[in-house]
Structure 1
Amino acid sequence: MKQRKFKKEVIDTFRLLTGKTFTIGDALNVYLSTPTKIHSESKSARQFVHRNILRFVSSADIVQVKSEGRAYTYKITEQFSARIAGTNAPEFPKKEDLPIPNNALGKNLTERLHQQKLMLLTAMGEAEEYDAIYKELPEIGAQIQDLYNESRDRCSKLLGKVKAIENLIALSGN
């Protein structure tokens, strides 16, 4: 079965429910308390949580434990724990996973890769902070929108550079 992809805010919500039995209402309360939520209105948030519980049930990440009338109780499976362990893994290969040629070009590329990754992490942090500030103070959204867009564009460009350097290192290692 193909593994489904879930948004970060969904994973963050259900990660907090690991090891507990919960209802849709419990999951909704946890979701509304997470800073990464994308719905603040109660009805749309409840629908979002319910849809994602159904998606998790269909992918066997969550199982229905019991039902009392219309109220269902759910529990997270080991498969979900494995999934969230996978989401905690870094996006980039570790230094020891990359084939590193012994020549000067390989050393230069490796140093360049580390520099680009550092710049990427900085730009990602900047974009995340603009987003967090906007969520706390939506009245200044117009003032920070351009800054946010610029940092997101920088993230995209830097990610492209990182991937290009990683591809070159992989090619030169063969």
Structure 2
Amino acid sequence: MLDPVVAQVIEAGNFDNFTTSDVRSAFLALKKDPKLNPSNVRRMIYSELLKLVRKGWLKKSISKVKGQTRFSKTNLFDANNLQVKTISFESIAATKTDGHHQKLLEKLVCYKAELLQSIGESEAYKDIYLDMPELVDEIQPKYHMARDNNTKLLGKIKAIEDIIRQRT
């Protein structure tokens, strides 16, 4: 699921071959919230863009000269099928919290932290493979296990978000 404002920015037909900072600038302009920390917003957007890279909807490229990361839409990119988040931490905080609700929130935060760690692990295996392709036999099983773990964690997150959404 994608942040609705990020989706709004990148689904524009003329928005292609962009950086995380380009999306952040548009995001901040649309949000008009002076309390937002640009650095935190950039990290969140980068995470959202990586989701689309993993789906094959965006291509990530790093320039060799400046080391700048750019994203381009692929043929698979379909603005009509962007799934946006319908639940946010603001909406969660606004709901009545009971014992079950609080436990669900704690589990959700825990699973999201595990997912970030697992994504980092799979990205590290991929980077190592790109640097040292001769280690493919050692790296590939670990990479696949990390990716499988990502999928399981995403399922757990979705289940908890669905339960929270039903209870609000």
Distance 1:36 1:15, change over 3 A: closer
Alignment match, 2:18? 15
Alignment match, 1:162? 157
Alignment match, 1:134? 129
Q: Give RMSD over aligned pairs.
A: 3.8
Larger radius of gyration: 1
Aligned counterparts, 1:77-96, within 5 A: 93-96=87-90
Kindly state the Cα deviation for residue 103 of structure 1 after the two structures are TM-superposed: 1.1
Aligned counterparts, 1:74-113, within 5 A: 93-98=87-92, 100-113=95-108
Provide, for residues 105-132 of structure 1, a one-character-per-residue CA deviation record: whole Å limited to 9, x for no partner: 1111001100010001110110011001
Provide, for residues 1-42 of structure 1, a one-character-per-residue CA deviation record: whole Å limited to 9, x for no partner: xx9x99xxxx6xx225x7xxxxxxxxxxx76637989xxxxx
* Identity value in percent: 30
CA distance in 1, matches of 2:166, 2:137: 45
Q: How many residues align?
A: 107
Are residues 1:150 and 2:153 paired?
Answer: no
CA distance in 2, matches of 1:137, 1:35: 22
**Alignment gaps of 5+ in structure 1:** 19-29, 38-48, 60-82
**Normalising by the residue count of structure 1, what TM-score does the alignment of the two structures yield?**
0.50
**Normalising by the residue count of structure 2, what TM-score does the alignment of the two structures yield?**
0.51
CA distance in 2, matches of 1:162, 1:107: 15
Moved over 6 A (4+): 34-37
